[in-house]
Amino acid sequence: MHQTHMIIDGEQLPISSHKVETICNPANQEPVALVSVGTRQDARMALEAAKKAFPLWSETACEKRAELLHSAADLVRERAKSIARLLTQEQGKPLKNARAEILSSAGILDYYAEEGRRNVGEWLATSRGRSVVLRQPVGVAALITPWNYPVDLLSWKVGPCLAAGCTFVAKPPSRAPVAATEFVRAIYDAGLPAGVVNVVHGPGSEVGAELVENPISRKIAFTGETETGRWIMAQAALHIKRVSLELGGQSPFIVCGDADIEKAAAACAQRAFSNMGQICISVNRVYVADEVAEEFTDRLVHQTERLRIGNGLKENVDLGPMFSNEQREKTKEHMKDALDRGAELLCGGREPEGEAFEKGYFFLPTVLDRADHKMKIMREETFGPVAPIMRFETVDEAIKLANDSNYGLAAYIYTSDIATGIQAAERLEAGGVGVNINNVMDYQMPFGGWKESGIGRELGHYGLESFLEIKHIRLGI
């Protein structure tokens, strides 16, 4: 069984010196890894190590940091097969998707290696002297990440953090820390100085709390639940720390009467059910124009019933298990509430049958029709494989319904009229809008939410800037 050690100041802390937990495969409950569980003291030690390493790393030339980040990306690719297998075993997603996640994370390191080279200042000549504007690393960063994309979402933070010249302590998700730790280990093995990268496992109530509350950390980058984000903001305020928070979502998917229905249905199924709906930008609410509702619903059901579910390690699997029984039970509870309030079950809605599914947290992808905003599933983040459909008469009505939410992370609209698409995108209250595309993420573009979906932006040069302070130097000549 794999052993996952914490990394503090360049050292692997022996598992024998800590409490140990067993990570199990959500597909069959078979043990995957033994993981050392840290404490507040371990988090404090890691922060102190990062603080000690900060002066050297922050003064390292951007060319050298870029070289090391490229080497780290290469090493992640070399180890992608083994890390991806661990990711599938601890999280459940199909192996092809796990490998894509690891390779994407390597690409993020390469991107920020080059973006860091472009961290240039400004020089302005004035009649009374000169002004210089510098962008300098903010300091030690605390990086706290969730279980649904434990490597990818960590890379979004690690890449700009290191390119900016910051050091960090990462806290991977307590129940899926293995692949994320191996990702950081590959980065360290590429030749970074001791203390620049650190990993501490453990519960948010201890390890996460120490990383947030300790004055050593000057930047907190967090992806997770909105309620936790509120607590982080409150604690960060005590020391005026910089925060980037990517929080909950409840993404609407609008299908206009003039949309390409076949493409819209395929896109909706992919974005609603990929990773078993356990994605912050997953489709949570589907709004369909009355005149095409029957056709769209039929095609969405057809697309959904074609999806193959099973152990993520097996070939030709589209969907693995859900991550936990808690997630599955929440999905079932939201679905039952919708059915009790008048929704119609079109497909799925239960666990698959057969011996292969008995020990795992499997659930069939589900389509509901006749949904409305009285239902929890249309107002709360389900984080499960359910696509509820509600019908509308006008695009104005659809936009009003889409904006009727506390969340604002992503939104999607399908239409053949580009003017309708652009105008809707401008009016939708979300940090990212996909027009005739079901993905709002791009390495070079900002990602983040409006309203209770978060604050700050990741990816692109925006992600790098969040790890930098601005300094004005005025020279009298």
pLDDT at 477: 84
Report how many domains make up the chain: 2
Does residue 226 sit in the same domain as residue 272? no
Q: How many CB atoms lie within 10 A of CB 446?
A: 17
| Whether 419 and 466 share a structural domain | no
pLDDT at 176: 98
- Nearest to 401, CA basis, from 347, 409, 393: 393
Estimate the crossing angle of helix 178-189 against helix 62-78, to 10 degrees: 130
At position 226, the amino acid (one-letter code) is T
Q: 291 and 412 share a domain? A: yes
Domain assignment present for residue 92? The answer is: yes
Clarify whether residues 228 and 272 are in a common domain.
Answer: no
Query: Are 228 and 295 members of one domain?
Result: no
Rounded Cα distance between 453 and 32, Å, is: 33
105/173 same-domain check: yes
Q: Which of 179, 173, 143 is nearest to 161 (CA)?
A: 143
Max Cα-Cα span within the chain = 81
Does a structural domain hold residue 83? yes
Report if residue 14 sits inside a domain. Answer: yes
The answer as to whether 237 is a domain residue is yes
And the tokens for 91? 């999280």
**Element containing residue 350 per DSSP (H, E):** none
Active site amino acids: 246, 280
- CA distance linking residue 471 with residue 121, whole number of Å: 9
- Do 239 and 278 lie in a common domain? no
Give the tens place of pLDDT for each residue, 125-143: 988 899 999 999 999 999 9
Nearest to 27 by CA among 271, 276, 272: 276
Q: What is the pLDDT of residue 335?
A: 98
> Is 258 inside a domain boundary?
yes
Structural domain includes residue 448 = no
**CATH number of the domain enclosing 460:** 3.40.605.10
Sheet with 122-126, side-by-side order of all strands: 122-126, 129-137, 468-476
Q: Residue 15 has what pLDDT?
A: 83
55: which residues sit within 8 A by CB, 6+ positions away?
Answer: none
220 and 296 in a common domain: no
User: What is the per-residue pLDDT for 352?
Assistant: 97
DSSP secondary structure, 369-396, as one string: ES--TTSGGGTS---SSEEEEEEESSHH
What sections of 118-260 are H helices per DSSP? 152-164, 178-189, 209-213, 226-237
In a domain, 40, yes or no: yes
Examine the domain organization and report whether 214 and 318 are in the same domain: no
Residue 109 shares a structural domain with residue 36: yes
Whether 319 and 377 map to the same domain: the answer is yes
CATH of the domain at 285: 3.40.309.10
Helix residue spans in 409-459 (DSSP H): 418-427
Nearest CA to 183 out of 155, 207, 224 is that of 155
**How much is the pLDDT for 16?**
78
pLDDT at residue 128, rounded to an integer:
85
Claim to verify: residue 352 and residue 465 sit in the same structural domain? no
Predicted confidence at residue 66, as pLDDT, reads 98
The residues of the chain scoring below 50 in pLDDT are none
* Whole-model pTM over 0.75: yes
In-domain check, residue 197:
yes
Using CA atoms of 271, 274, 278, 283 in order, give the dihedral in degrees to the nearest 10: 10
d(CA 83, CA 98): 8
- Domain membership of residue 9 as a residue range: 2-247+453-476
